[in-house]
Structures are given as C-alpha cells and as structure tokens.
Amino acid sequence: MFFQRASLKPWNTFGIDVYANHVTIVHNVSSFFCNSRDNNIRQNEPVLLLGEGSNVLFLQDFQGKVFINRIKGIRFTETTHTWLLHVGAGENWHQLVKTTLYKGLAGLENLALIPGCVGSAPIQNIGAYGVELKQVCEYVDIIFLNDGSHQRLKATECCFGYRDSVFKHRYKNHYAITAVGFKLIKQWQPVLSYGALKMLNPKTVTPMQVFHAVCKIRRSKIPNPKYLGNAGSFFKNPLVTSPTAFDLLTLYPKIPYHLRSNGDVVLSAAGLIDQCELKGYRIGGAAVHDQQALVLINTGAASSQDIVNLARIIRRRVGEKFNIWLEPEVCFISAQGKIDSVEVIA
C-alpha cells in the first residue's frame, strides 16, 4: 500500500502532524527491496522505517520515504529445555507477550505493555522490571535495502547494551529488521526485583500473575497514547558509577536505583525529575505527565518544538541540580532522518 504526501500523525504515538513525501506499508520481506529499489535509494533519498512510531519525535516534515513494517507471523518450535520463536518484525510487541503466555510459554511477562512492534525491540534493547530483550533474544534477521541481501545476526553480534545495540551504529542506515528469534527457557524463574513485583511470592507466583502486575503498574503511570499522545519513557535512566550514586543517594535517598552486575548503578530518571518538582510542568501543548515524570505528553495541540523546549528545560534543571545530564530515549527525526537528540536539547 502506497501513499504520496501523507500525514504521519497516525504513525507516531506523540500525534505530531507532520508529512512525508511517500509512505509505504510493507507486508513481506521482498517488498522492502522492491520498493526501496524503485524509489531510488541509491540516489540518497532519505528513508525511514517505522513500526508503530512509539519511540520517535518528528521535528519537521520528512523529505523522503517512510516504510511501515507490517511483516507478520509467529512460528513456535520446541527443544528439550526451550521454546524457540521466530517472529515477524511487524507483530505488535504486547500481543506477542500475551500470545506466549496464553500458550503457556513464560519469559516475556516483565516486558508487557511496552509499546511498538517486535522489530523495534532489538534496536533499543527494550527492558523493564528487571528483564532486557538481550536475555531472551537468539537472533535478528535483517535485509539490506540497497541490494536485497539477507543476514542473520546472532544475539552476541547485536552488541546489546543499555538501550543500545548495533542497530543504532553499524546497521543504522539502509537496512530493515524483518524478524526476531527468541529463546524462552522452560524452567521458568520469576524476576521480581522491581518495585511492587517484590510483593509477589517467588515460590507460588505464576507468569500470568507477573504479567498482570506489570500491566497494572504501567497503566497507573503511562497514559494510553490513543487518548493522550506520548512516547512512553522520554529519557534514559542514567548509568553512573557506585561512588557517584553513593554521594547522590546520601543526599536524596528517595531516588530509586538499580544495581547492575558490573557494579554500576542505574538511577531513576523519573526520580531525578521528581526531585526537581516538574510533574505537571507545561510548555505550550506539551507537559510532564502528573503521574509519571518520565513521560512527556501531548495535551492535544503540542508542536514538536513544544516537546523539545520542555525536554530542554527538564535536562537543564536535572543537570544543574545533580550534575547528571539526561539523554533522550526517544529518537528525533528531522527532514532528512534521525539526528542527535542530545544536541537538539543541549
């Protein structure tokens, strides 16, 4: 399906009304190469791939072609100790989590209600409530748009880091993720290290109970973008050294944090913003959500500049108070493609 001079408002959860020269909805792997070749990618026309647009902020009209990935399909295979899944990149992430649980497969429940499609998950190395994608990912299939060649990257080749991967670096241009492979261990162990999940009994809890608990937490904090435009967590939780965290938490013990296996500490960006008393703070049509400081919302008529200005103030207030400079988790998109979000709000 192909549209010329199309609005991208339906394709970004912030609900920013910008336009693209072309929008193509892709339902199979071969369409990526055929459409990109026909659209003269070799002549350097900007290209952008979207799933559900749940992690982007459009700054202006996009002067190129947008591919909407809708490659579907879920295949299950079984080994003695694991379930193996091959999932089309256009599948909705939350629906995948529900499908696995309804089939009796555990392992994704902590990642419930993360917005977006499966193909976006490896790019960000999505994570929530003590679990990251890298713990369940086996491989990622990609296609190179310039020549139509395919490649399967093992999880170890994806260079997963905190909200980071090879897809933000080496493979960030002229490729498309077409499928993701998952490995779920049959001998399930609940991950209950985060917040309200600690209240669950690890000896009796079921994967479905963890799922419902995570959904309850997320729904209490993050508004549904169908009714209030947002991109979920706007900033990354900052990673700091133990000495830095110790000094900060001595002064501000209420800031939530999480210890990583290497000794570093992940501080709650929401906690830092809370300490700056910015919940409900508003610029134009953009505001800090009054239930979750990490979520910036479009109250109905926000421009992208409103959101940028709000993010800039948040970053400056947190930086001046704590000497910790937040980085956006959301991708900023200019007329020519992705740009450095930190430079925009610095």
The string of DSSP letters for 222-276 reads S--TTTSEEEEE-BPPPEE-HHHHHHHHHH-TTS-EEE-TTS-EEE-HHHHHHHT
Rounded to 5 degrees, what angle do the CA atoms 81, 203, 83 make? Answer: 20
- Per DSSP, the chain holds a count of helices (H) and strands (E) of 8, 21
Q: Decide if 138 is catalytic.
A: no
pLDDT, tens only, 294-344: 999 999 989 999 999 999 999 999 999 999 999 999 999 999 999 999 999
Q: Decide if 45 is catalytic.
A: no
Which pLDDT belongs to residue 194?
82
Domain 6-69 fold: 3.30.43
Given the residues 52, 91, 132, 329, select the one marked as catalytic: 329
Which pLDDT belongs to residue 33?
66
* Of residues 144 and 86, more confidently modeled: 86
pLDDT, tens only, 202-249: 999 999 999 999 999 999 989 999 899 999 999 999 999 999 999 999
Q: Tell which CATH architecture fits domain 229-345.
A: Alpha-Beta Complex (3.90)
The CATH number of domain 74-220 is 3.30.465.10: yes
Q: Decide if 233 is catalytic.
A: yes
Domain boundaries, given as residue ranges, for the chain: 6-69, 74-220, 229-345
Given the residues 165, 233, 304, 341, select the one marked as catalytic: 233
Same fold, 6-69 and 229-345: no
Which pLDDT belongs to residue 42?
47
Q: What are the structure tokens assigned to 345, written together?
A: 């709000």
Which pLDDT belongs to residue 262?
77
The arithmetic mean of pLDDT across residues 28-56, rounded, is 76
Select from 90, 1, 15 the least CA-distant residue to 50: 90
Whole-angstrom Cα distance, residue 152 to residue 225?
A: 33
Whole-angstrom Cα distance, residue 269 to residue 246?
A: 16
Nearby residues of 164 by Cβ (< 8 Å), 6 or more positions away:
124, 125
Which range has the worst mean pLDDT, 15-24, 28-37, 88-97, 325-334? 28-37
Which pLDDT belongs to residue 39?
53
Tell me the pLDDT of the chain averaged across its residues. Answer: 93
- How many alpha carbons fall within 13 Å on the CB side of residue 252? 16
- Asked whether the beta carbons of 293 and 233 are under 8 A apart, the reply is no
pTM: 0.90
Given the residues 163, 218, 315, 317, select the one marked as catalytic: 163
Whole-angstrom Cα distance, residue 300 to residue 14?
A: 10
